[in-house]
Amino acid sequence: MPEPLSPLTNKTVAGHFGAGDAHGVTLGTRRVSSLWQIAGWGDFEAVAKPVLTSLGLSGLGCFRHAQQLGAVTVWRIAPDKILLEGVRDLAAAASEELMVLDLGHTRTAITVEGSASRDLLAQVIAIDTAPAAFGPGEFLQTGIHHVGVLIHCTGPDRFDILVPCTWAETIWEVLFDNALPHGLTIEEAA
Amino acid sequence: MKRLATGGRIDRSKPLTVSFDGKSLPALQGDTLSAAMLAGGVSLVARSFKYHRPRGVFSAGVEEPGAMVHLRDGGRHEPNARATVIEAFDGLVSSSQNAWPNLNFDVGAVNNWASPFLSAGFYYKTFIGPFKHSTKFWMMCETFIRRAAGMGRATHQTDPDTYEKRNAFFDVLVIGGGVAGLSATLSAGRMGAQVMLVEQDFDLGGAVLSDPVGSESESWVSVVRDELLAMENVRLLTRTTAIGAYDGDTYALVERVSDHLKAPQNHQVRQRYWLVHAKRVIMATGAIERPLVFGGNDKPGVMLAGAARSYLNRHAILAGQNVVVATNNNSAYEVAADLSQAGASVQLVDMRVSVADSTQAIARAAGATVVLGHGVLEAKGVKAVNRAIIAPVDVSGRAIGPAKTLKTDLIAISGGWAPAVHLWSQRFGKPVHDKASAGFVAPDNPDCPIQAAGTTAAAASLDEVLTQGFNQGVAAAQAAGFTGDAGEIPVTFDTGPFWQAGLSPAWATFNAKGKCQGKAFVDFQHDVKINDIDQAHLEGYVSVEHLKRYTTLGMATDQGKLANINALSRMAELRGLEIPEVGTTTFRPPFTPTSIGSIVGHEHGRHFRPTRLSPIHHWHVENGAKMTEAGAWMRPWYYPETGEDLRAAYVREAAHVRGHVGMVDVSTLGKIAVQGPDAAEFLNRMYVNGWKTLAVGRLRYGVMLREDGFVMDDGATARLGEHDYFMSTTTVNAAKVLALAEHLLQTAWKDLRVHVTTVTDQWAAIAVAGPKSRALLSAVSDADLSREALPSNHFTKASIGSVEVRIHRMSYSGELAYEVYTPSGFGRHVWETIHAAGKAHNLRPYGTESMGALRIEKGHVAGPELEGRTTMKDLGLEGFASSKKPFVGSVLRKRPVLEDPERPILVGLEIEGEKGAKPGSLLFPADGEAKGHGDGWVSSTTWSPALGCNIAMGLLKNGKSRKGETIRVINFVGGETLTAKVVSHHFFDPKGERQNA
């Protein structure tokens, strides 16, 4: 089995760009592996809980806080839909009450880090990015350049942006151009 | 005009290279362009809009109506820049505009002499009226009018700078960095609220910056600024103008990040457009001085009194040596005093007969002469003021005694002040009239999210400004949920008198006959004279909104800043009403002219809209494909071989598919996972055909309609499992179909247990078509693709290049064909694997152009036919519709208008001759007049390699009965008429023998 190709292979050229004396933003990529969606109806909690429990998680979580345990990250993206990253094949968990969908190739992650990372986000999304409003562990679903994305705050000034693979280059370019005034460092592809 | 040796908030150690019309100006750090002009003795700065009258520097702020110039050059060239707000910088190049051949001798000035014919509404009267029932005269004149219209000229060169947008969220937004705004920020900040203070100037202080250097006010500002800078919860933004107030407590600001530099440095943007979301706003935007109206009040050398004081105390420029200060209120007395102390000979001419001794003493003590009960009747001078005609006046401003002439080079005028309530008005409508200040203010409403403070609220003393600002800050913080201690109000300080006390209602000076002497302007920017308002009144314009539009008063950058109150005053007099009864207009955003660049931000060029790329995109580019846009996608259009153009390439590619085998990237097809126990029922409702019998492992073509009965989309859906379906849509309609499905499931069909999820990104898709496709895929995969094992409309799982894929047996080209679905991360690998294996089978990639040619030959409908105006019947698809179940659009498709037998229906057209038809061409019978919309139109067209002729698909009235008829195909745009034979749209292999092979 070959390695999946990152949609940003052509973009992640390491180097420093933009404002010469500044290092406000570092952009990088991270492969999103094993991404699954579980969805249900009615008593979604009852049917989803066994799946989550088997991963060591206690509940469905909420719409702003991601749950993380080891390599597993869980985002509750709708009342009856949950995204799970870093999990095993969940196909066996499917039932008439619980729909399971492999989305492992739908998204890639753009990582944003640095002292100006919140400023950069404020340039591309109309949501409060101040630390008090969007702290570590929290996530939000919004649009960058008209494309739906999920942004997960993974550290004080660090974010993962899950973007649809076919839109990845355009989002990358938007972030790149917006980051230039802050001084931009591109990391070697992960 | 001269620069003084001392004083001013300028840095004399930092001279700047600044020029105007090639003349070097003695600018210093801290100057504006207008200050540099005055320091350089430039009095004639521009020509006016309509009459091309000489205009000079009239103000010191955003209200400037006349001193508008061309700024910078090359791609950074900017027209209509107000010299009063342009910070001087080293290398600033400016030039005059709206003048030819030059500013001093401007041919357009002839308009001044023709002014009796150019009054309000002259366009309508002069150019449309002469010939009834015809616009020809207007059309002829329009060319010349358009050439003469406007002021500055924009550049066609590309703007080299970048702009950015930024969102921000604050508890309190304070607009205006004067005393009121600083006080408000202080109290709200002390209480712990997140506060943003924006100031359009590059320094904080507002009106205080026009006080003499070293005054009490300066140290007050300094102390407050230091305290604010130390607060982490307060953000101060200078060079930032609040231009708009919008619903949802959203405010637009433009920060001029690099406008004070010759060019942006170190990758910084030129301007930043802020969208600020604030719970409360304190509007401390100050007040704008009102002009007085008299003959020649627009000549260079007539200036707002406050501006004369600003140039003196901020820039150390004495704008005149023999100064007449003309006023109807107390605020001008301090101006007279400061100018007098600076060495000017000052005569203060006050329209009022009675002014408090203490007020008069301010001017007299400094050496100015005070003349009460007089007004300026007319300013004299050709290109600059050299005399003022003054006369005793009554309370209405009418001359009641003999006039006398004063020699002067500066007439500083003050007709009171108008609170700058524009932002409030943008959101909440018309402000209310405040009799005490003779201006319009925001009505008192503590629940309003925008609260005025200071002179914006017509505060009548500095003490009131300070207290009001501080208290508004407290109230705003409390409204945002903060209960901290705001501390003490900072100590106040002395300042000059405000305008309200004893303000005279007189706003213009008339001669004994009640007329202004000479041309007296109300709107300086659009050359609207008092006579124009009178004329509009005579012609029956009683609404202030109509008056505005008929006379163009208050338009352009003025937006009512200078013209509003005086125009309303005149209208009230003419109608015998009070000003509140006349009403006022509603201010609209933006408050000041705003660059298109800042509004656009990054969303131009490659970011004009998002671009979507297939997982195999880079292979196409690396292998020489010409790419084309398909919705948001970039798709391979064709793969030219040496010397081939589009036509040669697509004809070769299409023929190759028919003869051998080709592969095309169809990853762009919309793909939707439909999951749930009620998925089949959902599909039954979405599609016109039935789905309950579709077995796992099979797929089916479907058509879906809109609610109104027109065809919306088509595609194939595969049943992957008991509750799992894989729906494909056309590339263009993918989002529309998903949105409709989501909408219906969340509203009308909440009874269905179904989830729909886009999986377009999950799967890359490759169509392999041609007689050798089975042999190729059998060789490269482990699947049994024999006709028996995989008949049409079935799929199977397989492995290609060690990747698990799904192979669907279906054809879009009319050839034996398959679609290979692979996880998108492996898309390129699978494509390359098939491509490599294909060498033995003479495989060629093909693009969208040849894909289109193949589908037209086969007679499949696509985007050009599914364009929102066609029904199933029109397209020959009605056989798919089930009569046993309801589906979206099943009722409205039966509307009589959609059942009309005369509706154009899908036909094929064999075009005669070498030229192909253009899509959109109209269809007419072979004989008769070609008029109107004809009998139909061409939807898709191509050269058919299989048939060896040009063919097209089109919709033709009574098309079914016209097979064999020769018709005309007329392209009115290109002036081209072709003839065509009407045939079946199934041009190629109508029995489907090739695809079912």
Residue-wise pLDDT tens digits, B941-962: 999 999 999 999 999 999 999 9
Distance from CA of A56 to the nearest CA of B (A): 26
Structure tokens at B748: 């009308």
- Nearest residue, CB atoms, A166 vs list B612, B724, B828: B612
B761 CB neighbours in chain A (<8 A) are 105-107, 164-167
CB-CB under 8 Å, B165 with A2: no
CB-CB under 8 Å, A166 with B267: no
CB-CB under 8 Å, B757 with A173: no
Pairing state between β B936-944 and B949-957: antiparallel
| Residue B686 · residue B730 · CB < 8 Å | no
CB-CB under 8 Å, B761 with A99: no
Distance from CA of A54 to the nearest CA of B (A): 23
What chain A residue is nearest to B824 in terms of C-alpha separation?
Answer: A105
Give the pLDDT confidence of B560-583 residue by residue, as tens digits. Answer: 899 999 999 999 999 999 998 988
Helices and strands of chain A, counted as H and E runs: 3, 12
Would the pLDDT of A188 be above 80?
Answer: no
At residue B422 the predicted structure's pLDDT band, cuts being 50, 70 and 90, is: very high
Distance from CA of A66 to the nearest CA of B (A): 21
At residue B534 the predicted structure's pLDDT band, cuts being 50, 70 and 90, is: very high
CB-CB under 8 Å, B167 with A81: no
At residue A25 the predicted structure's pLDDT band, cuts being 50, 70 and 90, is: very high
**What pLDDT, on a 0 to 100 scale, did the predictor assign at position A190?**
60
Average pLDDT over residues B78-103: 95
Pairing state between β A184-186 and A25-30: parallel
C-alpha to C-alpha distances, B411 to B290, B299, B350, nearest whole angstrom: 14, 10, 12
Cβ within 8 Å of residue B146, ≥6 positions away: none
B824: helix, coil or strand? Answer: helix
CATH 2.40.30.110 for domain B901-997, yes or no, is yes
* Pick from B612, B715, B656, B990: nearest CA to B853: B656
CATH 3.90.950.20 for domain B291-415+502-519, yes or no, is no
At residue B129 the predicted structure's pLDDT band, cuts being 50, 70 and 90, is: low
**What pLDDT, on a 0 to 100 scale, did the predictor assign at position B366?**
97
Q: Which of the four CATH numbers 3.20.20.60, 3.30.70.1400, 3.40.190.10, 3.10.105.10 does domain B670-758 have?
A: 3.30.70.1400
CB-CB under 8 Å, A103 with B759: yes
What chain B residue is nearest to A146 in terms of C-alpha separation?
Answer: B610
Residues B91 and A48: their CA atoms lie apart, in Å, by 67
* Pick from B281, B48, B33: nearest CA to B180: B281
Average pLDDT over residues B613-630: 98
**What pLDDT, on a 0 to 100 scale, did the predictor assign at position B114?**
80
* Pick from B512, B519, B778, B817: nearest CA to B661: B817
Average pLDDT, chain A: 95
Residue B346: phi and psi, rounded to 5, are: -120, 130
Q: What is the CA radius of gyration of chain B?
A: 38
Helices and strands of chain B, counted as H and E runs: 24, 50
Average pLDDT over residues B635-651: 97
Distance from CA of A116 to the nearest CA of B (A): 13
CB-CB under 8 Å, B757 with A101: yes
Q: Which of the four CATH numbers 3.30.1360.120, 3.30.565.10, 1.10.3720.10, 3.40.1280.10 does domain A22-32+105-186 have?
A: 3.30.1360.120
Residues B787 and B982: their CA atoms lie apart, in Å, by 35
Structure tokens at B634: 């970039």
The answer for B7, left when phi > 0, alpha when psi is -120 to 50, beta otherwise, is left
B325-353: burial string, b at 16+ Cβ within 10 Å, e else: bbbbbbbbbbbbbbbbebebbbbbbbbbe
CB-CB under 8 Å, B763 with A2: no
CB-CB under 8 Å, B169 with A10: no
Residues A75 and A149: their CA atoms lie apart, in Å, by 13
Q: Which residues 269-288 on chain B approach chain A with CB closer than 8 angstroms?
A: 269, 275, 277
B801: helix, coil or strand? Answer: coil
Q: Which of the four CATH numbers 3.40.190.290, 3.40.50.300, 3.30.460.80, 3.50.50.60 does domain B163-287+419-479 have?
A: 3.50.50.60
For chain A, give the percent of residues with pLDDT over 90: 93
Strands (E), B201-340: 234-237, 240-246, 250-255, 271-283, 287-289, 302-304, 317-318, 322-327
At residue B493 the predicted structure's pLDDT band, cuts being 50, 70 and 90, is: confident
The DSSP element (H or E) to which B678 belongs, if any, is none
What chain A residue is nearest to B604 in terms of C-alpha separation?
Answer: A174
Structure tokens at B84: 């009063």
- Nearest residue, CB atoms, A2 vs list B267, B269, B829: B829
At residue B745 the predicted structure's pLDDT band, cuts being 50, 70 and 90, is: very high
Cβ within 8 Å of residue A53, ≥6 positions away: none
Give the pLDDT confidence of B496-530 residue by residue, as tens digits. Answer: 888 888 899 999 999 999 999 999 999 999 999 99
What top-level class would CATH report for the domain B2-113?
alpha beta
Structure tokens at A176: 């790149």
Give the pLDDT confidence of B373-390 residue by residue, as tens digits. Answer: 999 999 999 999 999 999
Is it true that B163-287+419-479 and B901-997 share their CATH fold? no
Put simply, whether B723 touches A (Cβ < 8 Å) is: yes
**What pLDDT, on a 0 to 100 scale, did the predictor assign at position B146?**
79
Put simply, whether B753 touches A (Cβ < 8 Å) is: yes
| Residue B317 · residue B3 · CB < 8 Å | yes
Residues B727 and B190: their CA atoms lie apart, in Å, by 59
Residues B757 and B125: their CA atoms lie apart, in Å, by 62
At residue B787 the predicted structure's pLDDT band, cuts being 50, 70 and 90, is: very high
* Pick from A5, A10, A35, A31: nearest CA to A169: A10
Residues B320 and B343: their CA atoms lie apart, in Å, by 10
Average pLDDT, chain B: 95
Put simply, whether B670 touches A (Cβ < 8 Å) is: no
B667 CB neighbours in chain A (<8 A) are 166
Would the pLDDT of B134 be above 80?
Answer: no
Residues B153 and B556: their CA atoms lie apart, in Å, by 15
Distance from CA of A160 to the nearest CA of B (A): 19
Q: Which residues, listed in sequence order, are joined to residue B275 by a DSSP beta bridge? A: B167, B252
Distance from CA of B273 to the nearest CA of A (A): 10
Put simply, whether A13 touches B (Cβ < 8 Å) is: no
What top-level class would CATH report for the domain A35-102?
alpha beta
Q: How many CA atoms lie within 13 A of B888 on its CB side?
A: 25
Omega before A79 within 30 of 0, i.e. cis: no
CATH of domain B613-668+762-854: 3.30.1360.120
At residue B130 the predicted structure's pLDDT band, cuts being 50, 70 and 90, is: low
What chain A residue is nearest to B829 in terms of C-alpha separation?
Answer: A2
Average pLDDT over residues B549-558: 87
Residue B370: phi and psi, rounded to 5, are: -110, 125
The answer for A81, left when phi > 0, alpha when psi is -120 to 50, beta otherwise, is beta
Task: Find which of A34, A105, A144, A176 to mutate to test the B interface (most B CBs within 10 Å of its CB).
Answer: A105
What chain A residue is nearest to B603 in terms of C-alpha separation?
Answer: A145
Q: How many residues does chain A have?
A: 190
At residue B128 the predicted structure's pLDDT band, cuts being 50, 70 and 90, is: low
Task: Kindly provide the ipTM of the predicted complex, given to two decimals.
Answer: 0.97
B607 CB neighbours in chain A (<8 A) are 145, 170, 173-174, 177
Q: What is the CA radius of gyration of chain A?
A: 17
Average pLDDT over residues B808-814: 95
Please report the number of interchain residue pairs, chain A to chain B, with beta-carbon separation below 8 angstroms: 137
CB-CB under 8 Å, B757 with A2: no
* Pick from B723, B677, B682, B720: nearest CA to B702: B682
Average pLDDT over residues B289-305: 97
Q: Which residues, listed in sequence order, are joined to residue A75 by a DSSP beta bridge? A: A83
Give the pLDDT confidence of B892-931 residue by residue, as tens digits. Answer: 999 999 999 999 999 999 999 999 999 999 999 999 999 9
Would the pLDDT of B99 be above 70?
Answer: yes
Which segments of chain A belong to CATH 3.30.1360.120?
Answer: 22-32+105-186
Cβ within 8 Å of residue B927, ≥6 positions away: none
Put simply, whether B828 touches A (Cβ < 8 Å) is: yes
CB-CB under 8 Å, B757 with A37: yes
Q: What share of chain B is helix, strand, coil (3-state, %, to 5)?
A: 25, 30, 45
Which segments of chain A belong to CATH 3.30.70?
Answer: 35-102
Put simply, whether B265 touches A (Cβ < 8 Å) is: no
Give residue B874's Cα distance to chain centre.
40
B763 CB neighbours in chain A (<8 A) are 105
Distance from CA of B636 to the nearest CA of A (A): 15
pTM: 0.94
C-alpha to C-alpha distances, B239 to B78, B166, B242, B255, B588, nearest whole angstrom: 18, 16, 10, 6, 21
Put simply, whether B169 touches A (Cβ < 8 Å) is: yes
Put simply, whether B614 touches A (Cβ < 8 Å) is: yes
What chain A residue is nearest to B825 in terms of C-alpha separation?
Answer: A4
List the domain boundaries for chain B: 2-113, 163-287+419-479, 291-415+502-519, 521-581, 613-668+762-854, 670-758, 901-997
What top-level class would CATH report for the domain B521-581?
mainly alpha
Put simply, whether B610 touches A (Cβ < 8 Å) is: yes
Residues B763 and B721: their CA atoms lie apart, in Å, by 17
